[in-house]
Amino acid sequence: MLFLTRTLPLVIAFSCGVLAIAIYYVPHSAAQGMEEKLTLWLRIVAAFAYFLGLYSLLNLHWNRIRQHQAGWGYSVVAAVGFGLMFFFAVINDGDGPFAPQAKQGAYQWMFDNVQVACASTMFSLLAFFISSAAYRTFRARSPEATILLVAAVVVMLGRVPIGAYISDLIPEAMLWLLSVPNLAAKRGILLGVSLGAIGTALRIIFGIERSYLGGGEE
């Protein structure tokens, strides 16, 4: 049992890790074909995993409705929405479930007028959230916050016509801020991230990091 739960996953992780690294450096069509196969396998596994996700999602909302938990009405909306979308997808604008997905019909209408509209609403909320977050951040309570405030004001003014109207220096300062200190910080983070990713990959490939298998280090 320990072989199946520990040793075998570690062997698979090591083999796949080494293979993936090798494929990156080997341009031969055999290696590229193998990469395509691995990607295909990933998609197949993901397709089956979606059944698990669907079960989890429906189970979550069913339990909420059954137990009348706070906000259970939203779960009813989610369940009804799922049922309707599933029904219209099967009907497929009269073509049936085995035909390619129709470009029009009730399913597409629901997607365009409910799903897309709701997603756009959520996205547009960001404008208000950014405002409140910016208000908290730009309070100049420390020297660092003051620098941030000044930089933010310059960048915001430099992005709009009134900035150039006040002074030609403002757009230039904005460009300098974005392309020198901001870019340097970004690249610093990226370098750290890349090294961290290499370190994490090595820990997993060599079986040093095992917490993704659950539990212990050894």
Partner 1 sequence: MRYLPLCTVILALCAQVHSQPEPAPIPESRPELRPEPKLESRAESVAGVEAFDTPNDAGGSITVTWPKHPEASASTMYTVFLADAPSGPFLLVATVGADGSLKSDNPGMFGHDADNSHTHFAHIEIFPAVGEDEGTPLIDGKAYYVKVGLSPADDSVIPSSDGFGVPSGNAIEAVPGGNFFNWAKLNNFILGTFICLVILGYISVARRKELYIRRIAGLEAIDEALGRATEMGKPVLFVHGLKGMESIPTIAAVNILSRVARRTARLGTDLRVVNNEPIVMAVSQEVVKEAYLEEGRPDAYNPDSVFMAAPDQFSYAAAVAGMMVRDRPAAHIMMGYFYAESLLLAETGSTTGAIQIAGTDAYTQLPFFVTTCDYTLMGEELYAASAYLSREPRLLGSLKGQDVGKLVLIFGILVGTLMATFQMPFLTHLFTSY
Contact residues toward partner 1 (CB under 8 A) are 24-32, 42, 45-46, 49-54, 56-57, 59-60, 63, 70-71, 74, 115, 118-119, 122-123, 125-126, 129-130, 132-134, 136-137, 186, 189-193, 195-204, 206, 208-209, 211-217
Nearer to partner 1, 177 or 203 (CB): 203
- Min dist CB 92 to partner 1, Å, is 21
User: Whole-number minimum distance, CB 140 to partner 1, in Å?
Assistant: 14
CA nearest to 108, candidates 121, 123, 95 = 95
Q: How is 37-57 classified by DSSP, letter by letter?
A: HHHHHHHHHHHHHHHHHHHHH
The distance of closest approach from Cβ of residue 137 to partner 1 in the complex, given in angstroms and rounded to an integer, is 5
Q: Classify 167 as helix, strand or coil.
A: coil
Q: What is the DSSP letter of 139?
A: -
Choice between 50 and 98, CB closer to partner 1: 50
In this complex, which beta carbon is closest to partner 1, that of residue 57 or of residue 99?
57
Q: Which is nearer to partner 1, 166 or 208 (CB)?
A: 208
Residue with Cβ nearer partner 1 (169 or 186): 186
* 8 Å CB contact between 205 and 18: yes
Q: How far is the CB of 205 from partner 1 (least distance, A)?
A: 10
Return the SS3 of 97.
coil
User: To 10 degrees, the CA torsion angle through 152, 154, 157, 162?
Assistant: 160
Strand, coil or helix: 123: helix
